[in-house]
A and B are shown apart, each in its own frame.
Chain A
Amino acid sequence: MIDLSSKLEKLSLELVEKNAHLYKVTVKLENLESILLSFLNEFGYITLDSINCRDDLEEGLFTITYCLQTEKRDHVVMVQTSIDRENATLPSMHTLWPQAEIMEREMHEMFGVDFPTHPSLIDFALEYWEHMPPMRRDFDTLEFVNSMNPFRDQRGDNLDVKVEMKKRREEKKAAKLKAEQEAAAKLAAQEQQNPDSEAQNNE
Chain B
Amino acid sequence: MESGFHGSDLDSSLKCKLEESGMANTHAIMEKAVNWFRSRSIFVVAYGTGCGAIEMPPTFTSRYDAERMGVVGVATPRQADLIILSGYLAYKTLRRVIRTYEQMQRPKYVITLGSCPINGGMYWDSYNTIKKLDDYIPVDVYVTGCMPRPESVIEGFVLLQERIKNGEKAGWQKYDENLKFYKDNQKRVLGGHIDPSYETDWYNLENGGVA
Contacts and interface: CB of A to CB of B under 8 A. Distances in A.
Interface in B154-201: 188-191, 193
Interface string A133-160: 0100001011011001111100101100
A127 interface: yes
Given A127-B193, A128-B191, A149 B128 contact: no
Contacts of B124: 145, 157-158
Given A127-B91, A127-B92, A152-B132, A142 B125 contact: yes
Interface residues of B, number: 18
A45 to B, nearest CB: 34
Main secondary structure of the interface of B (DSSP, over half): loop
B127 to A, nearest CB: 5
Given A128-B191, A145-B124, A151 B91 contact: no
A130 interface: yes
Contacts, number: 43
Interface in B113-135: 119-120, 124-128, 130-132
A149 B120 contact: yes
Contacts of B32: none
A139 B128 CA distance: 13
For chain A, the bracket of interface size reads 10 to 19
A130 B127 contact: no
Contact of B191 (A130, A152, A157): A130
B149 interface: no
Nearest to B131: A149
Contact of B131 (A128, A130, A141, A151): A151
Given A127-B91, A127-B95, A151-B119, A145 B191 contact: no
A148 B119 contact: no
Interface string A59-76: 000000000000000000
Interface string A181-198: 000000000000000000
Contacts of B193: 127-128
Nearest to B127: A134
A141 B119 CA distance: 17
Contacts of B120: 149
A126 interface: yes
Nearest to B189: A148
Nearest to A142: B125
B210 to A, nearest CB: 27
Contacts of B125: 141-142, 145
Contacts of B190: 128
A141 B129 CA distance: 12
Given A125-B92, A142-B125, 15 more contacts: A126-B128, A127-B92, A128-B190, A128-B191, A128-B193, A139-B127, A141-B125, A144-B127, A145-B124, A145-B127, A148-B188, A149-B131, A151-B131, A157-B124, A158-B124
Interface of B: 91-92, 95, 119-120, 124-128, 130-132, 188-191, 193
16 contacts: A125-B128, A126-B91, A127-B95, A127-B193, A128-B190, A128-B191, A130-B191, A134-B128, A141-B125, A141-B127, A150-B131, A151-B119, A152-B131, A152-B132, A157-B119, A157-B124
List 8 tightest A-B contacts by C-beta distance, closest first.
A149-B131, A128-B193, A134-B127, A127-B92, A145-B125, A141-B127, A128-B191, A157-B119
